[in-house]
């Protein structure tokens, strides 16, 4: 969800430290004779008046790991300390909070990696290595200035002005760790902040550095952008800075309007972004939001112009669903049921549209419900979000049509139960009835029963299906095992 600023908590930083655990951290640090501070996301989110965050980053001027171990001894139940030696960090989970400890550090980078060379440093060194001024602020946990806000880069002012700005020269910040380009765009989308003009230029200049970032890290940020109230903000920034071709070239390929002989098609890139914003209003399902983002990607490779009928995108749903697999694989996304769900939504994305444009028959609705299964509501949500026409009359008509489709779905489902279709006659029953070994005929009979139900020729019930099985069997030259069945095969 997008973070909204109701008011800023810039006055009383001590309230941020109301939780008694901060006193215990302070006590442990003082006994060890080292200084420590709460820093980063916790301070930012506290000042943004988003309540007290659950993730707490503590920076120690000294060993973060040693401090964590000392702190754990002071907490009730002596929670376990998870130590990440390679990163010099340690984590404690306590009473629903996650405390992360790190030693203050100075970082220097090499060109081909986002892994810095790390040395011990001062608090200010540590603040400098952070990505944005709003993420550099620290609150002291030391006896001399407990509760004071330490803000050398004026993050408070940037919070007030809703600005994403780097503490150092942006060219250094982004080139050192190009993931920060994604983070800048993600924060701008989540917080509804602007990215400082110098930062924006620098992201554009450093865009090809994104190549050193792993798919997983990029996707984490894409997820967070998609989870915002208006994901289009993030995607247009990715587009504007030139990052998008490195990340989702399939979307970039949708941009533009072509005109031949006075016939134009819509710009499917900007249309897609509208669809994503629309769907963000009606669902929090991240994967359905992904489906909205990718629902038209098959349009670029299938686009054709025909003299008589104008622009077509035949088969774009099928092509698009195949492209989803390649895209997920390239970005190291999970190739599991989530991907299959996105593929299915893309593949079926035009089905309710075709239905709504025509006279709606029960059998067409049954087929839609049968094919979409449990995802039929999600599919309807996607199609409703896909309405981006600016013509109010059309807008109203399309919405109404989908309402009718939804009603029909409910009616048909209440009567025929095809949503999670379980054949009323199993293969085993067919084998038993005709005394058959597993063979092709069983499949033929099962398919005939399914088709008859979807077409509405028979109800989705055992008795009717059994009768049809006998009839089909006799057409195939099969003999039922008992006389009882022989008589009923007449109907
Ligand atoms: P969120 O938790 O919403 O993702 P966050 O700012 O808390 O936002 P974390 O990944 O939890 O992000 O990081 C905590 C802090 O560590 C940040 O506030 C920032 O100071 C610093 N940080 C995180 N990632 C980077 C980075 N890539 N470069 C520099 N500093 C970073
Ligand atoms: Mg955090």
State pLDDT tens for residues 34-52: 999 999 999 999 898 877 7
CA of 59 to the centre of ligand 1 (A): 13
The phi, psi pair for 36, rounded to 5°, reads: -150, 160
CA of 183 to the centre of ligand 1 (A): 8
**Does 230 score more than 60 pLDDT?**
yes
**Does 108 score more than 90 pLDDT?**
no
What pTM, to 2 d.p., does this model score? 0.91
When pLDDT is averaged across residues 452-461 and rounded to a whole number, the result is: 92
When pLDDT is averaged across residues 221-228 and rounded to a whole number, the result is: 98
Nearest Cα to Cα of residue 317 among 283, 342, 289: 342
Q: Report strand pairing: 55-60 vs 97-103.
A: parallel
Lowest mean pLDDT among 124-128, 204-208, 485-489: 485-489
Helices (H) and strands (E) in the chain, counts: 25, 15
449 and 465 in contact (C-beta within 8 Å)?
A: yes
Residues with C-beta less than 6 Å from any ligand 1 atom: 40-41, 55, 57, 130-131, 135, 177, 179-180, 183
Measured from the alpha carbon of residue 39, the closest ligand is: 1
CA distance from start to end of the chain: 60
Q: pLDDT exceeding 90 applies to what percent of the chain? A: 79
465 and 453 in contact (C-beta within 8 Å)?
A: yes
- Higher pLDDT among residues 485 and 329, named by residue: 329
Q: Report strand pairing: 263-264 vs 259-260.
A: antiparallel
Instruction: Tell the residue number behind the tokens 């930012």, with chain if given.
Output: 44
CA of 130 to the centre of ligand 1 (A): 8
The SS3 of residue 246 is: helix
176 and 109 in contact (C-beta within 8 Å)?
A: yes
Q: Which of 2, 37, 41, 103 to mutate to test the pocket of ligand 1 (most atoms within 8 A of CB)?
A: 41
**Does 491 score more than 60 pLDDT?**
no
Q: Whose CA is nearest to atom 30 of ligand 1?
A: 130
Which helix (H) or strand (E) segment holds residue 433: the answer is helix 427-434
280 and 230 in contact (C-beta within 8 Å)?
A: yes
* pLDDT value at residue 487: 46
> Which pLDDT band holds residue 3 (cuts at 50, 70, 90)?
very low
CA of 32 to the centre of ligand 2 (A): 26
Q: Whose CA is nearest to atom 6 of ligand 1?
A: 41
| Rounded Cα distance, 67 and 296, in Å | 52
> Which pLDDT band holds residue 422 (cuts at 50, 70, 90)?
confident
CA of 23 to the centre of ligand 1 (A): 24
State pLDDT tens for residues 158-200: 999 999 999 999 999 999 999 999 999 999 999 999 999 999 9
When pLDDT is averaged across residues 118-127 and rounded to a whole number, the result is: 95
* pLDDT value at residue 333: 97
Q: Whose CA is nearest to atom 17 of ligand 1?
A: 40
When pLDDT is averaged across residues 286-290 and rounded to a whole number, the result is: 98
| Rounded Cα distance, 134 and 161, in Å | 11
State pLDDT tens for residues 70-106: 999 999 999 999 999 988 999 999 989 999 999 999 9
CA of 438 to the centre of ligand 2 (A): 58
Measured from the alpha carbon of residue 48, the closest ligand is: 1
The phi, psi pair for 266, rounded to 5°, reads: -75, 160
| Rounded Cα distance, 491 and 489, in Å | 6
| Local structure of residue 313 (DSSP, 8 states) | -
CA of 39 to the centre of ligand 1 (A): 10
130 and 158 in contact (C-beta within 8 Å)?
A: no
Query: How many other CB atoms are found less than 10 A from the CB of residue 13?
Result: 21
**Does 411 score more than 80 pLDDT?**
yes
Atom from ligand 1 closest to the CA of residue 180:
27
The phi, psi pair for 311, rounded to 5°, reads: -80, 135
CA of 56 to the centre of ligand 2 (A): 7
Reading the block at residue 410, the tokens are 């409910």
Nearest Cα to Cα of residue 69 among 42, 48, 99, 44: 99
* pLDDT value at residue 1: 44
> Which pLDDT band holds residue 409 (cuts at 50, 70, 90)?
very high
Q: Which of 48, 130, 214 to mutate to test the pocket of ligand 1 (most atoms within 8 A of CB)?
A: 130
351 and 368 in contact (C-beta within 8 Å)?
A: yes
Atom from ligand 1 closest to the CA of residue 183:
27
Domains of the chain: 13-161 (3.30.460.10), 162-247 (1.10.110.30), 427-490 (no CATH)
The SS3 of residue 112 is: coil
Q: Which of 58, 91, 133, 135 to mutate to test the pocket of ligand 1 (most atoms within 8 A of CB)?
A: 135
Average pLDDT, rounded, for the chain: 92
* pLDDT value at residue 483: 59
Torsional class of 63: left (φ above 0), alpha (ψ -120 to 50), beta (otherwise): beta
CA of 169 to the centre of ligand 2 (A): 23
**Does 16 score more than 80 pLDDT?**
no
Q: Whose CA is nearest to atom 7 of ligand 1?
A: 41
């Amino acid at each position: 969800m997008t973070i909204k600023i109701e008011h800023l908590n810039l006055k009383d930083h001590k309230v941020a430290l109301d939780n008694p655990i901060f006193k215990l951290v302070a006590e442990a640090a003082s006994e060890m004779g080292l200084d420590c501070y709460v820093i980063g996301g916790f301070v930012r989110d506290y000042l943004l008046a988003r309540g007290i965050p659950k993730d707490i980053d503590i920076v120690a001027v000294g060993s973060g790991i040693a401090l964590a171990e000392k702190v754990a001894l002071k907490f009730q139940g002596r929670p376990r300390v998870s130590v990440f030696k390679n990163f010099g960090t340690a984590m404690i989970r306590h009473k629903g909070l996650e405390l992360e400890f790190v030693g203050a550090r100075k970082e220097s980078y090499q060109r081909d990696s986002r892994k810095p060379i790390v040395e011990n440093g001062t608090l200010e060194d540590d603040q400098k290595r952070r990505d944005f001024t709003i993420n550099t602020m620290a609150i002291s946990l030391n006896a001399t200035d407990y509760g004071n806000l330490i803000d050398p880069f004026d993050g408070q002012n940037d919070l007030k002005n809703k600005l994403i700005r780097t503490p150092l020269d942006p060219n250094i910040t982004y080139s050192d760790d190009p993931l920060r380009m994604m983070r800048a765009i993600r924060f701008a989308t989540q917080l509804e902040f602007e990215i400082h003009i110098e930062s924006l230029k620098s992201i554009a200049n450093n865009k090809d550095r994104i190549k050193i970032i792993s798919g997983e890290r990029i996707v984490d940020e894409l997820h967070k952008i998609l989870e915002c109230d208006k994901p289009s903000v993030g995607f247009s920034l990715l587009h504007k800075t030139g990052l998008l071709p490195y990340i989702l070239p399939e979307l970039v390929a949708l941009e533009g309007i072509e005109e031949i002989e006075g016939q134009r098609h819509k710009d499917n890139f900007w249309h897609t972004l509208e669809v994503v914003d629309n769907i963000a209003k009606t669902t929090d399902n991240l994967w359905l939001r992904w489906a909205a983002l990718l629902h038209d990607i098959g349009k670029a490779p299938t686009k054709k112009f025909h003299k008589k009928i104008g622009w077509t995108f035949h088969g774009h749903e099928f092509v698009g669903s195949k492209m989803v697999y390649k895209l997920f694989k390239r970005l190291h996304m999970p190739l599991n049921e989530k991907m299959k769900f996105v593929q299915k939504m893309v593949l079926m994305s035009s089905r309710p549209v075709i239905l709504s444009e025509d006279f709606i028959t029960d059998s067409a609705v049954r087929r839609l419900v049968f094919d979409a299964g449990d995802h039929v509501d999600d599919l309807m949500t996607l199609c409703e979000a896909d309405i981006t026409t600016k013509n109010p009359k059309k807008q109203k008509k399309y919405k109404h049509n989908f309402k009718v489709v939804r009603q029909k779905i409910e009616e048909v489902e209440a009567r025929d139960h095809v949503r999670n279709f379980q054949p009323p006659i199993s293969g085993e029953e067919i084998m038993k009835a005709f005394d058959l070994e597993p063979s092709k005929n069983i499949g033929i009979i099962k398919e005939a029963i399914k088709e008859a139900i979807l077409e509405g020729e028979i109800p989705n019930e055992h008795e009717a299906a059994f009768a049809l099985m006998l009839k089909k069997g006799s057409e195939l030259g099969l003999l039922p095992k008992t006389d009882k069945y022989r008589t009923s095969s007449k109907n």
